[in-house]
Amino acid sequence: MSAPNKSYDPVEVEALKPEVVEQARDEAFAAFAAAASLEELKQAKVAHTGDRSPLALANREIGALPPHAKAAAGKLIGQARGAVNQALAKRQTELEAERDARVLVEEAVDVTLPYDRVPRGARHPLTTLAERIEDTFVAMGYEVASGPEVEAEWLNFDALNLHQDHPARSMQDTFFVQAPDGSADSGVVMRTQTSPVQIRTMLDRRPPLYAVSPGRVYRTDELDATHTPVFRQVEAIAVDEGITFADLKGTIEALVEKLIGTGLELRWRPSYFPFTEPSAEIDLQCFVCRGASVGNPDRPCRTCSSEGWIELGGCGVVNPRVLVAAGVDPDRYSGFAFGLGLERILMNRHNVADMRDMVEGDVRFTLPFGMEI
């Protein structure tokens, strides 16, 4: 390297001649553009921006120039080096993008491969249906109550105004539990309805009472497509001052709307249950055919058997005798109660044709229902 020399003429330094600098710059541009891979670009980088590159060497000459010439030379070299670095960075980015694209393509997999490695489970639709109904009532302010499946006859029958010789008592084909002496006089049965929970709720607490209680009940029916000896009911009861049949209607309408949908007609048929008076059976307009299949053999409806109505369950205003037996003052309080068959709701709401499917526990039936219904 030469020492500073006042008389030194920068023009005389070959490397700092503008045309030489431009040439070095253009050569760098060409080398970068010609680099086909990051590896080649690295070599070009060393050649054109490294310590031994022409521009780096030229840069060193600047120090030897007289002060007045330094600025111009510095600017010349600086601009050239800046342009070279920019070109390098640009090419670097281009080549990296190319490489990335190539690698990611190579790493591609078939995302449609099945992956049933962790088996899925499911809850029984009758369980989740009961929960959905519970939730509807809980949202209205009700509580969920429960009682034993093997129940005292007094609670299952007598307290519900079904005395020993009541014809309705033989209508329900009851499983009787053996007494200690082996006879049928144990006073204990498998509950035939969830209604004893009504009584237990009233015995436990003072009105106002608003409770819903789903549960298994038992009758001596053989299993077939539409019957099962073990089935589920949901019972709801409201006991408060001034409860009327109108409150019952409003509550059931709200439930049906939540559970099945809007715009469906309900039919209220007077009926008879010993524990309610007045009593009604509730039919829901068939939500599949909406009654169009009635008397129309060309358009039969499987859901309602072309009857236009689907039986939902029974209900009524709690018979004051039931209130008395449960220790509620019938002059002050009144109540309503209703019971719905869950199997039937499931059959209708989810097009289940055969009751046996709900009973047998075939996983192919249950799995599609998942965790909620």
Partner 1 sequence: MRVPLSWLREYVDLPAGETGRDVAARLVRAGLEVETVEQLGADLKGPLVVGEVLSIDELSGFKKPIRHCFVNVGTANGTGEPQEIVCGATNFAVGDKVVVVLPGAVLPGPFPIAARQTYGHTSAGMICSARELGMGDDHNGIIVLESHHEPGTDAVELLQLVDEVLDIAVTPDRGYCLSMRGVAREAAAAYGLPLADPALLDVPPANSYGYPVKVADPAGCDRFVARTVTGVEPSARTPIWMQRRLQKAGIRPISLTVDITNYVMLEVGQPLHAYDRNRVDGPIQVRRAEEGEILTTLDGVKRKLSAEDLLICDNSGPIGLAGVMGGATTEILDPVLDPETGLVTGSTEVIVEAAHFDPIAVARTAKRHKLPSEASKRFERGVDPEAARAAAQRAVDLLVLIAGGTAEAGVTDIAAPHPVRTISIAADLPDRVAGTEYGRETVTRRLQEIGCGVVGADTLEVTPPSWRPDLTDPYDLAEEVIRLEGYDNVPARMPTVPPGRGLSEAQRFHRRVGVALAGAGYVEINAYPFLGEAAFDGLGLDKDDRRRRTVKLVNPLNDEEPALRTTLLPGLLGALRRNIGRGNTDLALFETGTVFLPKDELKVAPRLPVDRRPSDTEIAELNAALPHQPRRVAVALAGERLPSGWWGKGSGAVWADAIEAGRTVAAAAGVELTVRQAQYAPWHPGRCAELLVGDVVVGHAGELHPRVIKALHLPERTSVMELDLDLVFEDGRRVSGPAVSAYPVATQDVALIVDSSVPAAEVEAALREGAGELLEAIRLFDVFTGEQAGEGKKSLAYTLRFRAADRTLTADEATAAREAAVALAGSRTGATLRG
For the annotated binding site for Mg(2+), the residues are 277
In this structure, what DSSP letter does residue 351 have? T
Q: Is 297 in the site for partner 1 (CB under 8 A)?
A: no
Q: Could you tell me if 364 and 264 are in contact, meaning their C-beta atoms sit under 8 angstroms apart? A: no
**Which residue's CB is nearer to partner 1, number 53 or number 251?**
251
Span interacting with partner 1, options 29-37, 84-92, 109-117, 297-305, rule CB under 8 A:
109-117
CA–CA distance, 214 with 233 (Å, rounded to integer): 6
CA–CA distance, 112 with 102 (Å, rounded to integer): 22
CA–CA distance, 177 with 298 (Å, rounded to integer): 50
CA–CA distance, 126 with 131 (Å, rounded to integer): 9
Among 326, 340, 342, 347, contact with partner 1 (rule: CB under 8 A): 326
Nearest approach, Cβ of residue 122 and partner 1 (Å): 5
Instruction: Give the 3-state secondary structure of residue 132.
Output: helix
Among 117, 262, 263, 297, contact with partner 1 (rule: CB under 8 A): 117
- Applying the rule CB under 8 A, the residues between 236 and 275 that interact with partner 1 are 238, 240, 243-247, 249-251, 253-254, 267-272
Q: Could you tell me if 258 and 236 are in contact, meaning their C-beta atoms sit under 8 angstroms apart? A: no
Nearest approach, Cβ of residue 221 and partner 1 (Å): 8
Among 133, 217, 325, 340, contact with partner 1 (rule: CB under 8 A): 325
Query: How buried is 131 (Cβ within 10 angstroms: 0-12 exposed, 13-18 middle, 19+ buried)?
Result: middle
Q: Which residue has the tokens 């209205």?
A: 140
**Which residue's CB is nearer to partner 1, number 16 or number 234?**
234
Name the β-bridge partners of 215: 233
Q: Is 171 in the site for partner 1 (CB under 8 A)?
A: yes
For the chain, give the longest Cα–Cα distance: 137
Q: How many residues does the chain have?
A: 373
Strands 209-218 and 143-144: parallel
CA–CA distance, 67 with 128 (Å, rounded to integer): 90
Nearest approach, Cβ of residue 364 and partner 1 (Å): 7
User: In the stretch 354-373, what mask flags binding to partner 1 with x, by CB under 8 A?
Assistant: ----xxxxxxx-xx---x--
Span interacting with partner 1, options 4-12, 71-79, 92-100, 318-326, rule CB under 8 A:
318-326
- Applying the rule CB under 8 A, the residues between 76 and 105 that interact with partner 1 are none
How is residue 81 written in tokens? Answer: 């080096």
Q: Is 321 in the site for partner 1 (CB under 8 A)?
A: yes
Q: Is 301 in the site for partner 1 (CB under 8 A)?
A: no
CA–CA distance, 48 with 166 (Å, rounded to integer): 109
Among 115, 263, 298, 331, contact with partner 1 (rule: CB under 8 A): 115
Span interacting with partner 1, options 32-40, 46-54, 88-96, 139-147, rule CB under 8 A:
139-147
Among 281, 285, 306, 345, contact with partner 1 (rule: CB under 8 A): 281
DSSP codes joined into one string, 317-349: EEPHHHHHHTT--TTT-EEEEEEEEHHHHHHHH
Instruction: Give the 3-state secondary structure of residue 222.
Output: coil
Among 33, 72, 83, 122, contact with partner 1 (rule: CB under 8 A): 122
Annotated binding residues, written as ranges, equal 277
- Applying the rule CB under 8 A, the residues between 183 and 242 that interact with partner 1 are 183-188, 190, 203, 208, 210, 216, 220, 222, 229-230, 238, 240
- Applying the rule CB under 8 A, the residues between 330 and 349 that interact with partner 1 are 334
Nearest approach, Cβ of residue 352 and partner 1 (Å): 14
Nearest approach, Cβ of residue 303 and partner 1 (Å): 18
Nearest approach, Cβ of residue 237 and partner 1 (Å): 12
Q: Could you tell me if 253 and 296 are in contact, meaning their C-beta atoms sit under 8 angstroms apart? A: no
Q: Count interface residues toward partner 1 (CB under 8 A).
A: 105
